[in-house]
Amino acid sequence: MTVQQLKKRPLSRFLKDFKHTQTHCAQCAKLLDRITLTRRGEIVSKTAIAQLDTLIDENGWQIERQSWAALCRFCGDLYCKEQQHYFDIIGFKEYLFEQTEMSHGTIREYVVRLRRLGNHLASQNIPAPSSANGYFDDSLEPWLPPTSTNNYRIALRKYGQFQTLNQNTVAHFQENKSTSDIY
């Protein structure tokens, strides 16, 4: 008699089961509708997953699964695509989630709008304001897109609020730091 071995199956099968057990987004905890699977922060497409035919057993899967996460489509796009942003989109999204009472839908709209605006400004080589005030003083006004201009303006102000909060947090931190340096 040999020791019973754990049955090996292709990785794609484990992932299929994994996908079915995931009900909420690993980032924003929203109920999942369309699922995006990521491995170490990178989106892996359905087609790519179907081709993962390495045979592993349950033990192998337990190690492998730590690299995988199920995200909603919104978070998948947000965390895994276009990392070089004109705006700090991820910070902004977290700010809206944590510091405001906005609904998921409204947050999405703000994020999508700001991301579009960032691409628009970046494509024209417009430098980002050096301080939070720059988001309120209309200095970007001449470069806002001609359609839905007001929506972009509103998103920009909201982003300015986030930047103001950021600046104050940093200033407060440095203040504390210099005080403690005295002692």
Which residues in this chain contact Zn ion in the complex, by CB under 5 A? Answer: 25, 27-28, 30, 72, 75
CB 23 to Zn ion: min, Å: 12
Instruction: Pick between residue 99 and residue 176 the one whose CB is nearest to Zn ion.
Output: 99
CB 56 to Zn ion: min, Å: 28
Instruction: Pick between residue 77 and residue 88 the one whose CB is nearest to Zn ion.
Output: 77
CB 30 to Zn ion: min, Å: 5
Instruction: Pick between residue 88 and residue 94 the one whose CB is nearest to Zn ion.
Output: 94
Instruction: Pick between residue 56 and residue 114 the one whose CB is nearest to Zn ion.
Output: 114
Is there a contact between 113 and 155 (Cβ–Cβ < 8 Å)? yes
Is there a contact between 113 and 129 (Cβ–Cβ < 8 Å)? no
CB 74 to Zn ion: min, Å: 5
Residue 37: phi, psi to the nearest 5? -95, 135
Instruction: Pick between residue 28 and residue 44 the one whose CB is nearest to Zn ion.
Output: 28
Query: Rounded distance, CA 32 to CA 34, Å?
Result: 6
∠ at Cα 116 (112, 122), nearest 5°? 145
- Give me 44's structure tokens: 């892996």
- Environment class of residue 129 by beta-carbon count within 10 Å: exposed (0-12), middle (13-18) or buried (19+)? middle
Is there a contact between 162 and 92 (Cβ–Cβ < 8 Å)? yes
CB 93 to Zn ion: min, Å: 10
